[in-house]
Amino acid sequence: LNGTYDPDNIFAKIVRGEIPSVKVFEDDEVLAFMDAFPQSKGHLLVISKTSRARNVLEAEPKTLGRLIGAVQKAARAVTQALKPDGVVVTQFNGAPAGQTVFHLHFHVIPRYEGEALGR
Ligand code: 5GP
């Protein structure tokens, strides 16, 4: 996948506090925050605060391990809070795959019975 990491991408700015976000939890390595254009109620994003990986292909296995642990935490928290009927965990690599922000992230998207998929 072509290109290099842009340190001024939106999520890097969120990590640095240069643009606001609604944080769900955070530690030294990871940040979970609300998606600004949610596909459903409770749509969260989980990112690394330290990695400069744009996508899952570039990430260190250790980073992926930390991220997936945080994804599980986020999925459990949102399930407990909002009682969805299902939860999508997904991510995209490269613009043709649907990626729009080039800082590795996982989506956690609650799904509710009878609600259409998509935005
Ligand atoms: P991608 O398509 O790259 O996997 O997803 C990027 C996600 O970032 C989209 O779901 C989009 O709604 C979200 N997003 C874009 N800009 C912002 C922003 O400024 N703040 C937050 N919280 N989410 C954003």
90 CA: nearest ligand 1 atom: 4
Within a domain: 92? yes
Q: Does the annotation mark 107 as catalytic?
A: no
pLDDT reading at 119 higher than 80 = no
Residue 24 belongs to what domain range? 10-111
Within a domain: 119? no
Place of tokens 């990112």: 47
Within a domain: 118? no
Ligand 1, atom 13: closest residue by C-alpha: 35
Within a domain: 1? no
- What's the order of all strands across the beta sheet hosting 86-90? 23-26, 30-34, 44-48, 105-111, 86-90
Report the CATH number that the domain containing residue 18 is assigned in CATH: 3.30.428.10
Model confidence over 39-68: pLDDT tens digits?
999 999 999 999 999 999 999 999 999 999
Q: Which residues contact 61 (CB under 8 A, 6 or more apart)?
A: none
Q: What is the ipTM of this complex?
A: 0.99
Does residue 98's CB lie within 6 angstroms of at least one atom of ligand 1? yes
Model confidence over 86-96: pLDDT tens digits?
999 999 999 99
Task: Give pTM, 2 decimals.
Answer: 0.96
- Domains contained in the chain, number: 1
Q: Which residues contact 99 (CB under 8 A, 6 or more apart)?
A: 55, 92, 93
pLDDT for 116: 80
pLDDT reading at 117 higher than 80 = no
Phi/psi at 107 (nearest 5 deg)? -90, 140
Task: Tell me which of 43, 103, 105, 107 is the catalytic residue.
Answer: 105
